[in-house]
Structure 1
Amino acid sequence: MYQYNVQGVGIRAADASFVLDTLTQWNKHDPNQLLEGKLDLDRVGIFGHSYGGATTAEALAQDDRFKAGLSLEGGFWGTVSTTAMKQPFMYIMSGETAKSFTPDATEKDNVFYPEFEPDLDHVMTHSLNDTYYLTVDGFFHQSFTDISLISPRMFARGMTPEHNVDITRSYTLAFFDRYLKGEQQVLLEGPSDRFPEAAYDTEYTSIGNK
């Protein structure tokens, strides 16, 4: 299964680069005259959830044109688990999945796999740029989607569905505003009264890397 995911994520990372290749072409010459000369391709970010988060990490490792990336509880399949990431990177983990990392955990979350922890450790500790590792208590793997709005009684655990969605949206926006627009962001600097469920891990959050 691990090797299957390495192959699958590699294909998706190549797809992401293909999209960027196409946008680059259209920025130079768009047959439909819609995007030509209108795209700032020096400030391109990428993010995704789960398999999309894994795609994000691998795309960063394979293509330097992606200037920043954020993974919402994705795995690390491919070259990213053996190389040093060059771009700013943020990883957001649900509190439910984080429980699987504790040594005395009797049950592992469904998204957890044996290589998850060592791969995560390699990526976060070998990075050549800023890294953020955020855990959100009360979140589970699907909390990063809009499922809480579809069925709040089942999927908004201990919070309103609007607050659930606001957590993901706010940290994602803050990260890209910081690294694609150069705007300082309070949410990236430490604990937030607005989001008491969210906490940065001091070991994997490292700002000011060269």
Structure 2
Amino acid sequence: MSWLEDALTNRVITEQLPEATLETIYMSGLSSLLTVLLGLPLGLALVATGPGGLRPSRVVNAALAVVVNVGRSFPFIILMIAILPLTRLLTGTTYGWESAVVPLTLGAVPFFARLVETAVRDVSAGKVEAAQMVGASRLAIVGGVLVREALPAIVGGITVTVITLIGYSAMAGALGAGGLGALAINHGYNRFQTDVMVVTVVVIIVLVQLVQMLGDRVARLVDHR
């Protein structure tokens, strides 16, 4: 009980934890939105240009696959350091949660694109053929058949991606991105404040659980099967 009282009266926790939590939510939320906007069409393009796709193209598919595979092969910390010039160009700074959005997005887009590709490939070929028989356009088939049928799995992929980005954001804190990761490192680790470290971990766990619960609920709501 004494430990809990000390934690609740720690000024780092009472004054800096709320702001750090908001920074983590901001950087994870914005990068998640950008990841979906960029990764969804990339994943659909991988399916459409692949064997048996709506518009097969070996060259285009191979080029997209190389981009995705190269993007996925970079450890996040290395990626964040390697693109510092690009981050500074786009955000005007390399510090703060805003700067972390660039590497977070670039690191997550290839990951999410593969999740979308896997989800869409599981859609029954018979449903696509039925849509083609009634004269549906490629765009209508992508949106009305492929995405609609794969939506529960895509929502699951978004959930996994958001949770991954929360973890990445904590790593970004080691390089000046702020958020809960920076708080845990600067005070919990460097200054040996165990209570700060424990509380920070608890907050991250709570955020992950909330995202997972919301994602599961949305996935059930959009499941048309």
Instruction: Assess same fold via TM > 0.5.
Output: no
Greater helix proportion: 2
Greater strand proportion: 1
| TM band (smaller chain) | under 0.3
TM-score normalized by the length of structure 2: 0.25
Q: Which has the higher contact order (CA 8 A, sep 6+)?
A: 2
